[in-house]
Amino acid sequence: MTIALEEFARRIRLSSLDLCHRKRTSHIGGALSVADILAVLYGGIMHIAPDVVNDPARDRLFYSKGHACAALYAALDIRGFFPTGALQEGFAVDGSNFTSHVSHRLPGVELSTGSLGHALGVACGSALAGKRRNLPYSVFAVLSDGEMDEGSNWEAILFAAHNRLDNLIAIVDYNKVQSFGAVEAVMGLEPLAGKFRAFNWSVIELDGHELSILESALSAAKVSRQGRPHCIIAHTVKGKGVSFMEGQLAWHYKFPSDADLHAARVELGQL
pLDDT digits (tens, 9 = 90+) for 8-45: 999 999 999 999 999 999 999 999 999 999 999 999 99
* Angle, CA of 207, 214 and 59, to the nearest 5°: 140
**Residue 11: per-residue pLDDT:** 98
**Residue 4: per-residue pLDDT:** 96
Question: How many CA within 13 A on the CB side of residue 240?
Answer: 25
Q: How far apart are CA 77 and CA 224, in angstroms?
A: 30
CA torsion sign for 176, 179, 181, 184 is negative
Q: Tell me: domain 5-267, CATH 3.40.50.970, correct? A: yes
* CA 97 to mean position of chain CA atoms: 19
Mean pLDDT, residues 69-88: 98
Q: Are 26 and 252 in contact (CB under 8 A)?
A: yes
Residue 219 pLDDT > 80: yes
**Residue 2: per-residue pLDDT:** 74
pTM to 2 decimal places: 0.97
Domain ranges of the chain: 5-267
Q: Are 163 and 215 in contact (CB under 8 A)?
A: no
Residue 185 pLDDT > 80: yes
Q: How far apart are CA 139 and CA 59, in angstroms?
A: 6
Per-residue pLDDT band for 271 (boundaries 50, 70, 90) equals confident
Mean pLDDT, residues 59-82: 98
Residue 1 pLDDT > 70: no
On average, the pLDDT of the chain sits at 97
Percentage helix, strand, coil for the chain under 3-state DSSP, each rounded to 5: 45, 10, 40
pLDDT digits (tens, 9 = 90+) for 132-175: 999 999 999 999 999 999 999 999 999 999 999 999 999 999 99
Mean pLDDT, residues 224-235: 97
Per-residue pLDDT band for 198 (boundaries 50, 70, 90) equals very high
pLDDT digits (tens, 9 = 90+) for 113-128: 988 999 999 999 999 9
- DSSP annotation of 168 reads E
